[in-house]
Structure 1
Amino acid sequence: MKILICFLLVMGSLSNTILSQTLVEPNQNFEWETFSFLFPEPVVVKIESTVQKKLTVYPAKRDGFFMVIRILPWSEPITDKNLWGGSVFQKGISPKQFQKTITNQTFQIYQADQVRNQNALRNQVWIRMDEKPYLWIWLQWKTDRKDLTDFFESNLFLSL
């Protein structure tokens, strides 16, 4: 099963085409598919065509975070949720998982810190599999940016 997930992610990255690129201002609702997101600062949002529907978000002015948002392509979720934690984080520090319910939507959240290129990073993967379409959100931000920690861990990016 882990091989299948990796295969889907690799195939998606090999066949992606940028369909549009948009500058989004802070605290402006950004609508994509049936979802709405907010961002803590100006961002560039890329809508990509892949095997999966994919949205990539980068800061427009300064380094500090990025997001990848996907709609999962299968009709039934993978029931072994433990698979997700190991498939996302490489050499994660203090990995943990927990559930969070936000306006009647339940997310399974995997979190781990990581050191990459001398940067201390926080990684979170949010997976909503209690209703269709199934949603996968990967957040990564520099832990020295306390404003980002407050924004993402308070789930302000989801304007549900």
Structure 2
Amino acid sequence: MKGLWIPLFFFLGFTCTILSQTLVEPNQNFLWETFSFQFPEAVVIKTESTNQKKLTVYPAKRDGFFMVIRILPWSEPITDKSLWVESVFQKPISPKQMERVVFGKTFQVYQADQIRNQNALRNQVWVRMDAKPYLWIWLQWKSDRKDLTDFFESNRFLSL
């Protein structure tokens, strides 16, 4: 049994490794790969190495939102709305799909509200489909944080 733990440790270490954590101040450009993001308040960004490139963004001082940003590993993204809604939203309220163009880049945006742990939440999934690398962004924030609603729905987090 002891001999099993060493290979398992190395396997897990190479398949899902936290590469770094970074503190980013509000409205500061954060560059990752070929993309640039801004955040409405101080955040901690965790860079992970898995079978796909991934960032996880958490507020540094108070609760209210989080983001997961991934570079999609496949050659063509899935465009069937029902698959995106089912894979991200649990019991969605008023799901919507829209297309947004930000700085000349086209995104499909899937949005739904939901109730989770007695919190009213707004969820958006942004999928950039017009050029490689394909980008997937999942945003979730508390609906009562109107400052966050304005920030995310006006696309200010994208400073591409």
Equivalent in the alignment of 1:122: 122
TM-score for both structures, normalised by structure 1: 0.88
Q: Secondary structure at the match of 2:114?
A: strand
Give, in whole Å, the separation in 2 of the partners of 1:118 and 1:82.
25
Equivalent in the alignment of 1:68: 68
Offset, 1:77:
2.4
Offset, 1:102:
1.1
Q: Which runs of 5+ in 2 are unaligned?
A: 1-14
Equivalent in the alignment of 1:21: 21
How many residue pairs get matched? Answer: 146
Equivalent in the alignment of 1:77: 77
Equivalent in the alignment of 1:93: 93
Structure 1 runs (4+) greater than 6 angstroms displaced: none
2:118 counterpart letter in structure 1: Q
Give, in whole Å, the separation in 1 of the partners of 2:82 and 2:100.
16
Q: Secondary structure at the match of 2:148?
A: helix
TM-score for both structures, normalised by structure 2: 0.88
Give, in whole Å, the separation in 1 of the partners of 2:34 and 2:136.
13
Give, in whole Å, the separation in 1 of the partners of 2:62 and 2:113.
21
Give, in whole Å, the separation in 2 of the partners of 1:47 and 1:90.
26
Give, in whole Å, the separation in 2 of the partners of 1:50 and 1:33.
15
Cα deviation 1:13-38 (Å, max 9, x = unaligned): xx421100000000000000110000
Matches within 5 A, 1:21-60: 21-60=21-60
Identity rate of aligned residues, in percent?
82
Q: Which runs of 5+ in 1 are unaligned?
A: 1-14
Offset, 1:78:
2.6
- The 1:53–1:66 alpha-carbon spacing in structure 2 relative to 1, beyond 3 Å, is same
Question: What value does the CA root-mean-square deviation take over the aligned residues?
Answer: 1.0
Q: Secondary structure at the match of 2:147?
A: helix
Equivalent in the alignment of 2:8: none
